[in-house]
Amino acid sequence: MVETTGFAILGTLFLIYMVWQDHKNNMWVDDRKNAFMMGAAISLAWITNNSLLWALANIIISIFLALYLKRFNVFGEADINALRWSFIGFGILGFNILVWYLGLFLAFTLIYMVVKKVMRIKTPTPFMIVIFFAFVCNSILFGLY
């Protein structure tokens, strides 16, 4: 359980930093934090009871998810990479945790889009906060802190 707590705390800290950068630097985020968290997420495969095949499947699915999201030009590169490592991390921890994370992410994304539409915002806006809220809510929901 210590490993999952470390993943949740590190992920939260790095997402807070990236949300701050997203707002401060006009949607430009230092992607090196995402690379570090990708390594932390993949390392969960060696300390959990799930099979390495399941971890490999999560990694492959996350690669295809990233390629799919890049086609739409809606998400930034840092947003896609943050989604990738959180997808891999929660997927390796368990299928139910991953499903809840995706559900929370989709719900927060829908709220984000509705608020943008209601407020008639046409310009691009920072999106990392949506990933942060989904990550934190899912970590709290499954007691990862």
Q: For residue 23, what pLDDT band results from cuts at 50, 70 and 90?
A: confident
What percentage of the chain reaches a pLDDT higher than 90? 44
- Structural tokens at position 6: 């470390």
What percentage of the chain reaches a pLDDT higher than 70? 98
What's the pLDDT score for residue 2?
56
Residue-wise pLDDT tens digits, 58-87: 999 999 988 998 887 778 888 999 999 999
145, 139 in Cβ contact below 8 A?
yes
Distances in Å between the Cα of 109 and the Cα atoms of 49, 130, 135 are: 31, 6, 13
Residue-wise pLDDT tens digits, 101-138: 999 999 999 999 999 999 998 888 888 999 999 999 99
Instruction: List, in order, residues 6 or more apart from 95 with CB less than 8 Å away.
Output: none
Instruction: List, in order, residues 6 or more apart from 89 with CB less than 8 Å away.
Output: 7, 11, 37, 40, 41, 44
pTM: 0.89
142, 97 in Cβ contact below 8 A?
yes
